[in-house]
Structure 1
Amino acid sequence: MARSRPLDQVFLQLFGPESDEEVECGVYVFKSLNRVLDSRSIIRHPTVTGLTLCKAWVSKDFQASVLAAVAAEGWFEGHGMSTNQAMRFGGLPEWAVQLAALLPVQQAFPAEIASRQPLFDQLIANSYQPGEGIKAHIDLLRFADGICIASFCSPAIMHFTRDGCQRQSLLLEPGDVLLLCGEARYAWEHGIDSCQEDVWQSRKIKRARRMSVTLRKLLPQHA
């Protein structure tokens, strides 16, 4: 019978070592992430308080239906040209409502967030061409605590930084969902580097087109 891996090794597999020096020294050598976690998992980040990674949370069929719906609605086409962002306020598309209903908010969010109705009323979808990233940022304060980020298509590494020096990274693969609240939402910036290829635990990952969907709740004074 195979022994389970120690919890600290699972954290390292998911979030990587804490410094570039550890990567360069080759202290940590791991197999593919999918060899460690082969089913849906809810992982609270050990350092970024309020950050929960929902691994493989969106099924491949659901991912395909979301991508088909976005393509059918022409979200990234407008005024005769391509655009990389689409926003919706108020009534969200049915697939976004279904996505929100799938989230393990009771485990990830405080009760006052998990129980609010509606949980989210604003959506932003971003389309990234190969090599594109997004500058480190904190979501606008017009949005309430409790944010969902779902990843589709290409994998990418997201970095979390605090006070310009602390840095934590994690690999987002298709179907992964991040839930942010508290410090993860307000104190840590998150962003993705612009590059053609990511390196994660000695594994090279070539970037392809990626889409992210962020669900948020607009504060009443901004509604």
Structure 2
Amino acid sequence: MEEEIEENFGEEEEESDLTRRILREAFGDSSSESDHGECSSPIGESFSLLSCQESGFEIPIWEPVHGIQGLWFCSNFLSSENQSSLLSAIYQDGWLADQHNQAMRFGDLPKWALELSRRVRSAVCTGNIRAGSEVNLSTRSVRNDPLPFDLLWREPLFDQLIANVYKPGEGICSHVDLMRFEDGIAIISLESACVMQFTLEKEKEVPVFLNPGSLVLMHGEARYLWKHGINRGPGCQIWDGKEIEQKRRTSVTLRRLCPSPSC
């Protein structure tokens, strides 16, 4: 098995380089020196919900979560402007109105979700790895990208979404997403910061701080073996020795349905 991995390593590096080259051709260079004022409209629409024509545009910075294979975090996925636009689109569409604190969609996703999916793909392909991370840029390959090549380029990338609103004190029990969904899951956090706990059979627990506008990607072991949940009870949301101020939190989870129950 190790010999097979070594033989395929060169091919995976070439695929990873090809991935980033394709994205640069489609969306432009992600370099901070490039002209971010010229950016094609997403999904062929003249209206851009998540506009890249904004001041202070940042290159997505990715960080692998230590100890959990397949768990990646991007703290600057959405700017404050992007977050406001996304929230406005969600509420204007009537997704989270009145007493409804959860909304789902299967199949045809709304425009804002399609654009969000596009931005996830672009962020994976054009983003950088945080300096000091265990993953070395010079040896970055498909194996240790935020999403493997086959998942990143499937079509559609996602075809199911769930949007949730949590009042202060409300969280979600630890769970593994249902097997009806394929590998590769994205979680976007909005409005309130929180700590999400990842647990492995009660033997190991890894906390991850989710700031507003951040993105979590899960695949492989992180998706299938590790439970994830958020406890926002009194005294449970502690980070760097300080308790996090509880606010309303909105999250959007993007997934892809299995083509058949046996997948």
Normalised-by-shorter TM-score class: 0.7 to 0.9
Q: Which residue of 2 aligns with 1:165?
A: 203
Structure with a larger share of its residues in strand? 1
- Asked if 1:82 is matched to 2:77, the reply is no
**Higher relative CO (CA 8 A, sep ≥ 6), structure 1 or 2?**
1
Q: Which residue of 1 aligns with 2:116?
A: 99
Q: Which residue of 1 aligns with 2:86?
A: 66
Q: 1:130, 1:196 within 8 Å by CA — same for their partners in 2?
A: no
Q: Which residue of 1 aligns with 2:177?
A: 139
User: Aligned in 2, Cα 1:96/1:196: closer, same or farther, shift over 3 Å?
Assistant: farther
Q: How far apart are residue 39 of structure 1 and its match?
A: 7.1
- C-alpha distance in 1 between matches for 2:232 and 2:243: 15
Q: How many pairs are equivalent?
A: 182
- C-alpha distance in 2 between matches for 1:47 and 1:219: 28
Q: How far apart are residue 213 of structure 1 and its match?
A: 0.3
Which runs of 5 or more residues in structure 2 are unaligned?
1-57, 126-144
Give TM-score, length-normalised by structure 2.
Answer: 0.66
SS at match of 2:260: helix
- C-alpha distance in 2 between matches for 1:39 and 1:73: 29
Residue type matched to 1:57 in 2? Answer: F
Q: Which residue of 2 aligns with 1:53?
A: 73
- C-alpha distance in 2 between matches for 1:207 and 1:41: 26
Matches for 1:1-223 after TM superposition, within 5 Å: 40-77=60-97, 82-103=99-120, 104-106=123-125, 107-196=145-234, 198-221=237-260
- C-alpha distance in 2 between matches for 1:182 and 1:88: 24
Deviations 1:78-112 (A, max 9, x none): xxx51221001111111111111122344311111
Which runs of 5 or more residues in structure 1 are unaligned?
1-37
Residue type matched to 1:173 in 2? Answer: N
Residue type matched to 1:50 in 2? Answer: G
Which deviates the most, 102-111 or 87-96?
Answer: 102-111
Q: How far apart are residue 124 of structure 1 and its match?
A: 0.3
- C-alpha distance in 2 between matches for 1:76 and 1:92: 15
SS at match of 2:205: strand
- C-alpha distance in 1 between matches for 2:160 and 2:147: 18
- Identity level (%): 43
- C-alpha distance in 2 between matches for 1:94 and 1:73: 10
Residue type matched to 1:97 in 2? Answer: L
Residue type matched to 2:159 in 1? Answer: D
Cα RMSD (Å): 1.6
Give TM-score, length-normalised by structure 1.
Answer: 0.77
Q: Which residue of 1 aligns with 2:17?
A: none
SS at match of 1:220: coil
SS at match of 1:148: strand
Q: 1:120, 1:215 within 8 Å by CA — same for their partners in 2?
A: yes
Q: 1:161, 1:190 within 8 Å by CA — same for their partners in 2?
A: yes
Deviations 1:19-60 (A, max 9, x none): xxxxxxxxxxxxxxxxxxx97420011201100001111111
- C-alpha distance in 1 between matches for 2:114 and 2:222: 23
SS at match of 1:142: coil
Choose 1 or 2 for highest CA Rg.
2
